[in-house]
Structure 1
Amino acid sequence: MVRLSREDIEKSLPTGWRVEGNYLVRDLEFKTFMDCIAFINELARLAESEEHHPDMLIVWKHLTLRLTTHDEGGITELDIKMANLINGLIEKWKDRLA
């Protein structure tokens, strides 16, 4: 997998995501703590099936996701693909988002 240029990242940046250094980042706010945890459980199954795992920071009902390809030292097509898959999951959970 090849690390993407900043220009290539900007062209393919999935909705709701931003670039911070070598990471794609997305913040989510859920209606309840348990909604956040249930979402994470479903995301964990997706990440395991894709063999690409986001960093996750949970603060009560707030979830921050970060994606990077550690072996390449930055953002690759794998991260773009995973961000798009996560967006599909977010769409499914939109009624539980604050």
Structure 2
Amino acid sequence: MSDLLEDDDLNAALKKCPEWEFEKKAMVRVIEFEEFMDAIDFVNSVAEIADEAQHHPDIRISYTKVTLNLTTHDAGGVTDADVELAQRIDNLVD
């Protein structure tokens, strides 16, 4: 299990992932797409990289809006695993 990030490390991580916000012990990003199927295709891509990393985000789909919530439940907050997955997800979007 990864260790929780200290405040300084968390702030540095959020600077590397500027589209993400810290909310309730998690990194959160909302991404809006043009079409519903674009959102679904994106979620399927996230599922593939999450499965490879063996670290799975909470995902909420609301028509063309996808909300991703990254936290390490066993650790009770954000760890390096969340930051690494956030960066990989950013590569899909950006």
The TM-score by the shorter chain falls in which range?
over 0.9
| Cross-structure match for 2:26 | 23
Q: Distance in 1 between matches of 2:13 and 2:27?
A: 11
Amino acid in structure 2 at the alignment position of 1:77: D
Q: Distance in 2 between matches of 1:26 and 1:65?
A: 5
Gaps of 5+ in 1: 92-98
| Cross-structure match for 2:7 | 6
TM-score w.r.t. the length of structure 2 is 0.93
Amino acid in structure 2 at the alignment position of 1:9: L
Q: CA RMSD in A?
A: 0.8
Gaps of 5+ in 2: none
Amino acid in structure 1 at the alignment position of 2:41: A
Q: Distance in 1 between matches of 2:90 and 2:77?
A: 20
CA shift digits 1:29-60 (9 cap, x unpaired): 00000100011111111110110111001111
| Cross-structure match for 2:65 | 62
The percentage of aligned residue pairs carrying the same residue is: 40
Say yes or no: does 1:78 pair with 2:81.
Answer: yes
TM-score w.r.t. the length of structure 1 is 0.89
| Cross-structure match for 2:48 | 45
**Runs of 4+ off more than 6 Å:** none
Count of aligned residue pairs for this structure pair: 91
